[in-house]
Structure 1
Amino acid sequence: MRRNTKWLIGLGVIVVLFVGIFGISKFASGGSANNKVKTVTIGVAPGPYGEMATNVIGPLLKDKGFQVKTKEFNDYVQPNKALNSGEIDANLFQHTAYLKTFSKANHLKLTAIGKTPTLGMGIYSKKVKSINDLKAGSSISIANDPSNLARSLLLLADNHLITLKKGINVATASLGDIASNPKHLKFKTLDAAQLPQSQSNVTAALIPGNFSWNAKLKPSSALVLENLKPEYQEVFVVESSKKNSKFAKAVKSVLNSSKFKKAIAHSKFKDFQQPNTWK
């Protein structure tokens, strides 16, 4: 009996030591497999949304089991194509109007799952101090992609610089849809990324928020900033087939959380226009 008792005690000590060492090993490696953090890649364009994804959305998603990495693209074309091909897990660089137009034209199946605060398009100039200082024949640079071109024309129309034809689809408006141009403004269409640099060669430039931010232009220096309609507010996008995935649900939860709103309010993005869904 004594030998059996000693054997059992010895076995018990070994088991306790094994469990203890195994537990410490698990703790040191970050816990059980169920608590592992999954790395996800979010595609962004030059501008504020890469910073927002990394510094605001990222920490909140980590609490839900996702480590955020960003991949920057230098145009508005590749982020959607990369997402559709599975190269990245999501993107944050565009508004709903562009997403719909681009997806339809390129037969992509992408879905917006939430909105973020957005820096709107602005009219910037190195040559005049007020929108009223634009003279007859002034040169104006605007984006050449369909969605931002339409936004540019709407911003000009809202400020009574042009009028647009009645009955047009304002989401796809083009230069041919201008009804009147009383100041005979001369328009120069460029890739959106070139607009900040174009200020030296034109009287004024209409620059989307992504690129004005990247060029370190202060929104307060704009002659005019657009009041964004819901379809021009920034959206977080995933593949349509994954809109109900664990990752997508985590993103939705974060974007609608009070923690996200509070983090934005105490960040460099505090002056961005809030999503209409927050009101």
Structure 2
Amino acid sequence: IDANLFQHSLYLEKFAADKGLKLAKLIIVPTASMGFYSKKIHSLDELKKGDVITLSNDATNLARGLRFLQSLGLITIKPDLDATKASEKDIVDNPRGLVFKPLEAAQLPRTLDSVTASLVNGNFAFAAGLKLSTALKLEILDENLKNVIAVRADDIDKPFAKDIKAAVESDAYAAAINAPGSVFSEFQKPEWMKARA
């Protein structure tokens, strides 16, 4: 594989460090954000004590999910949360008495039939046929949580890598992303792309 597109910068950096790989970020691309999905409630106000919420169990996305829940006012987490070692033990206040169940990220959409809600990463929501517009809430992505195209560090200046970057920066790519009715039109754009609009 010469390039991939499946992770955000935080995940890429941790994975590369853990595996001893020399990988490099080529370019940030539009990204489907994490969503708070439910088939049982229509508003966060309906959440009650004991309601189960599933979220990703890998450390960086678990930390991300906890920060998202905090931004929604549902929990308070430790202020010095370590994104590489996060767990539900980092919750310091859970006023509604919600139950959080970390699971493999790819399984989260399937849990919606049995739990109150789930925090589903955009790529898994997309793969499961969930529309971003059906989420009760969507995460506002920091730049380091937007997906990147990654290559081997040694390949960053090779012609194929430059060609991929040029394709992503092209007017044709922007037109495809921004096309009305396109699923990609709901994706959050990277800062470089917003600056060109």
TM-score (norm 1): 0.66
Amino acid at match of 2:51: S
Number of equivalences: 192
CA distance, structure 1, for counterparts of residue 72 and residue 133 of structure 2: 17
1:124–1:206 Cα contact (<8 Å) kept: yes
2:161 counterpart residue number: 248
CA distance, structure 1, for counterparts of residue 84 and residue 64 of structure 2: 8
SS at 1:269 equivalent = helix
TM-superposed CA distance for 1:225, in Å, is: 0.5
Matched, 1:274 2:179: no
CA distance, structure 1, for counterparts of residue 2 and residue 121 of structure 2: 24
TM-superposed CA distance for 1:206, in Å, is: 0.5
Q: Which runs of 5+ in 1 are unaligned?
A: 1-87
Deviations 1:41-67 (A, max 9, x none): xxxxxxxxxxxxxxxxxxxxxxxxxxx
1:126–1:204 Cα contact (<8 Å) kept: yes
TM-superposed CA distance for 1:166, in Å, is: 2.1
Give the CA RMSD over aligned residues: 1.3
How high is the sequence identity, in percent, across the aligned residues? 44
Matched, 1:168 2:91: no
TM-superposed CA distance for 1:132, in Å, is: 1.5
Q: Choose the corresponding residue for 2:96, options 168, 178, 183.
A: 183
Counterparts in 2 of 1:100-111, with a 5 A limit?
A: 100-111=13-24
Matched, 1:258 2:171: yes
* Between 253-262 and 100-109, the greater mean CA deviation after superposition: 253-262
CA distance, structure 2, for counterparts of residue 245 and residue 159 of structure 1: 43
* Higher helix residue share: 1
SS at 1:213 equivalent = helix
TM-superposed CA distance for 1:172, in Å, is: 4.7
CA distance, structure 2, for counterparts of residue 162 and residue 99 of structure 1: 27
TM-superposed CA distance for 1:188, in Å, is: 1.1
CA distance, structure 1, for counterparts of residue 49 and residue 140 of structure 2: 26
SS at 1:260 equivalent = helix
CA distance, structure 2, for counterparts of residue 277 and residue 245 of structure 1: 22
Matched, 1:124 2:37: yes
CA distance, structure 2, for counterparts of residue 144 and residue 169 of structure 1: 14
CA distance, structure 2, for counterparts of residue 257 and residue 171 of structure 1: 35
- Higher-Rg structure is 1
Q: Which runs of 5+ in 2 are unaligned?
A: none
TM-superposed CA distance for 1:239, in Å, is: 0.6
CA distance, structure 2, for counterparts of residue 90 and residue 242 of structure 1: 9
TM-score (norm 2): 0.93
